[in-house]
Amino acid sequence: MRDVAIIGIGMTDFGELWHDSLRDLFVKAALAAMDDAGIAHLDSMYVGCMTPGLFTGQEHIGSLLADYLGQAPVPATRVESACASGGLALRCGFFEVASGASDLVLCGGVEKMTDVSGGRATYALATAADQDYESFHGVTFPGLYAMIASAHMAKYGTKREDLARVAVKNHANGLLNPHAQYRMPVTVEQVLSSVKVADPLNILDCSPITDGAAAVILCPADKAKKLAKGRAVKILASAHATDTIALHQREDLTWLKSTAVAAEKAYKMAGLKPADVDFAEVHDCFTIAEICVTEALGVVKRGKGGEAVRSGYTARDGKFPVNPSGGLKSKGHPVGATGIAQVHEVVTQLRGEAGKRQLKKARRGLTQNMGGSGGSAVVHILEVMR
């Protein structure tokens, strides 16, 4: 297989974007990525989108978005893996370029979530849970992650304040991200006193409903330096794994097996260990998720995720920064776009273009994008090309 590089990135602002449709958002991000790469045509497209039918009444979006981008009749495929749809779209594009089938592939993600009521949005998101054993009985994702949090606190002594510190850290990072939905600081006290959603989780432990899109351009690594003018980023690894959707079928509520398996595959593919990676963008849909993900990635030992955020280990100036973009918690979570937005941040950091949130050490970065409560996970490892 050929080595694959990212030569262009683009992203819209994330938030309640009332004046932009799903197609508008995608085209804005895609054109920005194509402009960044300095290209005018594509060989293929993959678009991560969780449930456009329920959010906007529009299916068949591969064809629709290729048309509105002015790239028809190129092949365009919509990819779905719940909240991991964006990460899986990148993985599909990665293999198309690696196989030699195409040279210029756009991998994007988009979701338009705010055109429906809160109840309809909750229903749409709940389709990523087990319908027979969870959703039918009224369990929503805040409830599922509240069970994970309760189990982690009981098993490992994780403190309620540790969850709050994840929100505090990520809001501090998001304050420096011009694309972020919530560019505001929060304190531990504010998180703990915010409205209860599902004990022990409060509203400030939860990522928001968001509109937005992101896109990247892939090409063979041997052509990247010329096309990208020295700003190319190589994809060292792409890995995917699944687990049971229903929590009750898992051996351990505190362990994200799909993330652990995908991470193990990614490290093996890249020939690296967790210590060889400098930072990560991870799927903090709820504050407890970041804590569990850092453990599953091998960044910290099992049960030590709470301690890591408490000690500043995962802070922007810590030993292993996590979510310098602000994460889903502050940046926002347009579910189909999240995985690509994570890659956007890692590439921005590796290029040294992150401005005030630029990390001191950014040679290799990792993204972890997760579907539902961990029923699927996609991990990518990226490295700047010299």
Q: Which CB contacts under 8 angstroms, 24+ apart, belong to 230-234?
A: 231/7, 231/351, 232/5, 232/6, 232/7, 232/385, 233/5, 233/6, 233/346, 233/347, 233/350, 233/351, 233/382, 233/383, 233/384, 233/385, 234/3, 234/4, 234/5, 234/6, 234/382, 234/383, 234/384, 234/385
Do the beta carbons of residue 111 and residue 336 sit within 8 Å?
A: yes
Strand partners, 279: 365
Q: Any idea what the Cα angle at residue 273 is, between residues 6 and 266, rounded to 5°? A: 50
Write out the catalytic residue numbers: 83, 333
Report how far apart, in Å, the C-alpha atoms of 241 and of each of 86, 188, 295 are.
15, 34, 16
Residues forming a β-bridge with 382: 235, 365
User: Which SS3 state, helix, strand or coil, does residue 70 take?
Assistant: coil
Q: What is the DSSP letter of 83?
A: B
CB of 166 closer than 8 Å to CB of 309: yes
